[in-house]
Structure formats: C-alpha cells, structure tokens
Amino acid sequence: MDDRLMTIERHIIEQQRTHGGKGDFSAVLSQIVFAAKVVSAQVAQAGLAENILGGTGDTNVTGDDVQKLDVFANRVFINALSYIGKVCVMASEEEDGIILVPDKYPKGDYVVMFDPLDGSSNIDVDVSIGTIFSIFKRLTKEGDGTLEDCLQPGYKQFGAGYVIYSSSTVLVYSTGEGVNGFTLDPSVGEFVLSHPDIKTPKRGKIYSANEAYYNYWKPGTKAYIDHLKSDGNAHKKPYSLRYIGSLVADFHRNLLKGGIFLYPEDTIDPKKPTGKLRLLYEANPLAFIVEQAGGYASTGYERILDIAPAKLHQRVPLIIGSKDDVLEYEEFARKNK
C-alpha cells in the first residue's frame, strides 16, 4: 500500500492487526479522529461563524477564561466518545469532575482524558491551537468508570496524541509503537499519513519558555536559560527562542525540529506553585509521544510518566523535548536548588 494513500483509519486498522484485540481501541481512536474533523471545520471558520469567537464570561476549574470554542470542542469530544460505547469515563480541562457516559450508551474498557482546546488565548487572533488526548484501559471491572480509573501514572497510557489546528490540521498519535502524523486533506475529508515514524533530534537549537516569568523562576531554571543564551552551551552559540503560547504548537515544532519546551514552576501565583500546565491531559500525553519519538519529559526532578496522579487537574512543571536538552536542564535544577 502506497504510504501516500495511508489514511489514519487504515493506519489504525493496521495497528490493531499488530496489537490484536477486538477493535474497541480502534473505535475510540476513530471517534477522536471524527471529533478532530468537526472541531477543525469550526476553527477554520471561527472568524466567520456567528458567535463562536470570544469568551463565555466563565472561568473553568483551573481558572482559565473559557472561550466559546473551548466549550464547543469540549462538547464534540464528549459526545463522540460517549456514543461509541467503548469508554467508561472521561475527564476534560473544561469539566470540574469526571465525565460519565450517559446511561443510554454501553460502557466500555477505555478511559479518555483531554484538553479539548489548547492555547485558547490564541483563538481570536488566528494563532495555532490544538487538542490533546490521553487514553488508558480502565482499572475497575465494569459499569461506570471512576476517579481511580483516571488517576493512573502516564507510563500506563494505552495511547496518546494531539491535533494542531494551524495552516493545516495535523493529528499526531502513538499507541506505543512509535509516532506518526497525519494531515487532513480537506478535499476528501481524510487524515493522510504525512509524518511517518517521527523521531525527535537528541539535541535541539530552540527553547520555548515565557521569559516574562524569569524573575519568578528557581535559580536552576534561571541558570539553565542563561546557559542557553550564552556561547557556553553545546552549540557554542545561543539557542533560538520560539514561543507561540500554544503548548501544542510549540511542542509540535520542537518535536519535528528538536528543542526544549519549559513551563517550570514559578512563584508568581501561590495557587499555582508547580506551574500552569496540567498532568493528566497536557503533560502525560505529550510525554508519552515525546518518549516514543526518542525524547524525554520531566518536572526537572522526575520523569513525567512516573508521577502517580493525586488530583484530576493536578499541575506539574513541564520540561519536554530533545532528550539531551531535558537531561541537561535536570542537571542545572539539581545543582542550583
């Protein structure tokens, strides 16, 4: 089969053939693909469609201003994943508690947690945004899933991925057998294999961080960033700073080109001592992807995928990307406590 004609549906079926299984996981992934197409269509016309731009005036459980597109995307993913009867529980950045599947649908073996729209502050200014998703097998036996099903360490993920809604819409996912990217061909409405077997460079030349917070970072973080901006680093010249403010967009560029993304802990907001990003539906899925592509993700002190979650919307410092860069950050964090 010519790769150019390798649609994501065919790729999922091929993965299922190698994994074995009844096809339930494939059904979950296929619904995520469907939901991504629906959100992509809405994002593409956000500037034109009636009342889809702007804020709702609400704030979500993690204190972010909720955009209308956040709410739309959230509903699309919840409805698609409820409908298929293969999911027992969900969690979303936009919902305070766990999300149960309505009684009219069967319950399945999978747990799906997602950030339905990442980078929402960029929606109204036409900058890339995304969706991030994480899939586990349930721990409980049957019926409705529970919080326990959601609070599993990242290394137990069954699959993970993200969608970036940008100049094109790209869906990148892994089921533990490497990382592949698919670009939506709007003329046929199919995601087609465009980035086979993604591997991220061991060391990059790019760093992504919001330097406005420099004065509120720990000494180790400051020392590391100063190191990147000097000619004393591995490249003997400063790294480039690229920061879009959408995690998915910054992550995707660094995954393909090499680089390190940092959202470290800071002392700006006592309510967020461990940084802004959330473990279950931002750090864990991207950590799964980056490790499958040969990179690494850390809090600066421990591997993201080893963290045993305590709360649904738990925040963690996220240092993620090219392995040598992230390991070097850990050295600075250790030496400059």
Those residues with Cβ within 8 angstroms of residue 241's Cβ, 6 or more apart along the chain or in another chain: 206, 207, 208, 209, 211
Task: Please give the angle made by the CA atoms of 246, 273 and 276, to the nearest 5 degrees.
Answer: 10
Q: Among residues 30, 175, 246, 292, which is the contact residue for ligand AHG, using CB under 6 A?
A: 246
Q: What is the DSSP string of 162-184?
A: EEEESSSEEEEEESSS--EEEEE
Q: What does the alpha-carbon distance between residue 250 and residue 242 come to, in Å, rounded to a whole number? A: 8
Torsion of CA 213, 224, 198, 91, to 10 degrees: -40
What residue 176 binds from Mn ion, ligand AHG, none (CB within 5 to 8 A, per partner kind)? none
- Encoded tokens for 223: 């020392």
Q: Segment contacting ligand AHG (CB under 6 A): 81-89, 113-121, 144-152, 299-307? A: 113-121
Q: What does the alpha-carbon distance between residue 276 and residue 140 come to, in Å, rounded to a whole number? A: 30
Q: Among residues 115, 265, 291, 325, which is the contact residue for ligand AHG, using CB under 6 A?
A: 115
Q: Among residues 30, 35, 88, 93, which is the contact residue for Mn ion, using CB under 5 A?
A: 93
Which CB, 108 or 119, lies closer to ligand AHG? Answer: 119
Q: Which residues are catalytic?
A: 64, 70, 93-94, 115, 117-118, 282
Check binding of 119 to ligand AHG (CB under 6 A).
Answer: yes
Which CB, 115 or 149, lies closer to ligand AHG? Answer: 115
The residue written with tokens 């940084």 in the block is: 275
The three-state secondary structure class of 216 is helix
Check binding of 92 to ligand AHG (CB under 6 A).
Answer: no
Which CB, 115 or 291, lies closer to ligand AHG? Answer: 115
Q: Which residues bind Mn ion (CB under 5 A)?
A: 93, 115, 117-118
Q: Which residues bind ligand AHG (CB under 6 A)?
A: 64, 93, 115, 118-120, 210, 245-247, 276
